[in-house]
Chain A
Amino acid sequence: EAGVVQSPRYKIIEKKQPVAFWCNPISGHNTLYWYRQNLGQGPELLIRYENEEAVDDSQLPKDRFSAERLKGVDSTLKIQPAELGDSAVYLCASTRGGSTDTQYFGPGTRLTVL
């Protein structure tokens, strides 16, 4: 079974530029999460999808961040415009959707904003 796939693995941009991250969850996993991991910290949730519906986006900075999961499979997270403080690792995770399911994480995208 293939794991969670994320791309790109690394991204370096100038501040005020836009950037997008892509995630393809494990096949059959209906629930998809985006987390942000700042240096030296644990991941923090940005948004959770159940199929194509965003059911928990309370921690997503909506002024500059957006996300979509149009067909309920892969997802894109966008930042526009990026700020220096957005430098972090962006992790995608997925589960089948059960309440006790384990979240399986992708390798992450390391974003550096200069």
Chain B
Amino acid sequence: AQSVAQPEDQVNVAEGNPLTVKCTYSVSGNPYLFWYVQYPNRGLQFLLKYITGDNLVKGSYGFEAEFNKSQTSFHLKKPSALVSDSALYFCAVRDADTGRRALTFGSGTRLQVQP
């Protein structure tokens, strides 16, 4: 079985400050990890993914995430937050060693960036 935990329901940060949205995962085999963002009344928009290789993954809109195998974490980061980054963020995982392609999502973290 695979699972994702996003321990914070909401993260508040001031514009211009760095932000971190936390994610930990559990899979039997090797993980493929994803971050998506959801704006109100919109579908999920892909930000970045880790498949293999460099543990630091860079994605869209200045976001990056670091894969840490020993801590089973894949935290999303951005050096300088923008008000427009305010949205709902989802971490997702799938087991690379099975044929099941479905993603398992966390429950989401709402990011509020204050001006």
Chain A positions near chain B (C-beta within 8 angstroms): 4, 6, 31, 33, 40-45, 48, 56, 91, 93, 95, 99-100, 102-108, 110
Contact = CB atoms under 8 A, between A and B. Distances in A.
A21 B80 CA distance: 40
B32 A100 contact: yes
Interface in B4-48: 4, 32, 34, 36, 41-46
A33 B102 contact: yes
Contacts of A45: 102-103
Interface of B: 4, 32, 34, 36, 41-46, 49, 51, 90, 92, 96, 100-108
Given A42-B106, A102-B49, A48 B101 contact: yes
A102 B34 contact: yes
Contacts of A105: 36, 43-46
A42 B105 contact: yes
Contacts of A100: 32, 51
Contacts of A48: 101-102
Nearest to B49: A102
Contacts of A91: 43-44
B105 A31 contact: no
B102 A42 contact: no
Contacts of B51: 100
Contact of B107 (A4, A40, A93, A106): A40
A52 B33 CA distance: 27
Given A42-B104, A106-B43, A107-B42, 5 more contacts: A44-B105, A91-B44, A105-B44, A105-B45, A107-B43
